[in-house]
Amino acid sequence: MTTKVWAYSESSGPASEVAAAAKKIADSCGGESVCLELDELRTQVGGCHSKLLLRSEGRLGDSVETAGAAIGEAAASSVPDLILVAATRRGREVGSMLSVKLGRPCIGESFNLRLDGSSLKGDRSVYAGRVVATVSCELPAVAVVKLGAYEPSVEDGVQVVEERVGLPKARVITTGTSKKDAAKVDLRTAKVIVSGGRGFKRREDLDLLVKLAGALGGTIGCSRPLSSDLGWLGEEYHIGLTGVNVHPNLYLAVGISGQLQHVAGIKDSRVIAAINSDKDAPIFQASDYGVVGDLYQVIPAMLRLISGQA
């Protein structure tokens, strides 16, 4: 019997990555990979052996509840061996819903997913990224795929199959919607990142961060407090265990203490450097280079040095 692997995400970038994961697993066992798309959330992603387009009389893209129900209904009739969902905020919920709805085990946010006979195995970062654990479960299963773990798939021209699905009786009623601003940056592809933390005293002072990132040919990022707590930067700039995992050639942490949650998101960087006024800041333990000093003095000095005015 041919092993069938489904891949789903609501947005194109993550969908390309999870499609690549699905095809890799399917190819390893002579199986078939299938990209899922909801009618209102067409990601235009190829890379799988075929594509399944789910349509409904109502809107499938309105909520996690309807998306999970639609995919679950399709899976109940087609019975895929494995459903992969990208680890976006929405995707984590959809993966959990599918696990419960279909009565299947679910492997949380993992990479290096592979089949071993009738078992699915995957690797997960635990203890804030300090340890990699291998987890496994029996097929059929659901798995949430860690973003940044697979090279996005770009192949297209696959056969598209359409299927009608029903919608559950709504338990959540949408009374209005507002469009979220599109992310301005994808830090997962950045080669140089200059990140700021609580060491910055005012929002306006982030201009120093922007200037330094520009001088180094990179982009800015931040630790959780500047995005989630203070709202000085958007969520797409948040790097860490609950944000984005990055792997640039250079990661420069400015005014960031370096708690485990943040270090877990930068550990794959080629070079890590830090600027902090506290010589005992944990960030120095994770850094290849460090400067102990006031960022309000160090950054201007660096800018002068880079511009040749020092």
The confidence score (pLDDT) of residue 292 equals: 97
Residues of the chain with pLDDT under 50: none
Q: Which is nearest to 248 in space by CA: 304, 191, 177?
A: 191
The confidence score (pLDDT) of residue 184 equals: 72
Contact 34/110 with Cβ under 8 angstroms?
A: no
The confidence score (pLDDT) of residue 53 equals: 84
CA pair distance 74, 70, nearest whole angstrom: 6
The confidence score (pLDDT) of residue 154 equals: 67
pLDDT in tens, 259-285: 888 998 898 899 999 999 999 999 999
Structural domains in the chain, CATH included, are 4-164 (3.40.50.620), 187-307 (3.40.50.1220)
- Percentage of the chain surpassing pLDDT 90? 58
Which pTM was predicted? 0.73
The confidence score (pLDDT) of residue 63 equals: 76
Return the HEC string of the chain: CCCEEEEECCCHHHHHHHHHHHHHHHHHCCCEEEEEEECCECCCCCCCCEEEEEECCCCHHHCHHHHHHHHHHHHHHHCCCEEEEECCHHHHHHHHHHHHHHCCCEEEEEEEEEEECCEEEEEEEECCCCEEEEEEEECCEEEEECCCCCCCCCCCCCEEEEEECCCCCCCCCCCCCCCCCCCCCCHHHCCEEEEECCCCCCHHHHHHHHHHHHHCCCEEEECHHHHHHCCCCCHHHEECCCCECCCCCEEEEECCCCCHHHHCCCCCCCEEEEEECCCCCHHHHHCCEEEECCHHHHHHHHHHHHHCCC
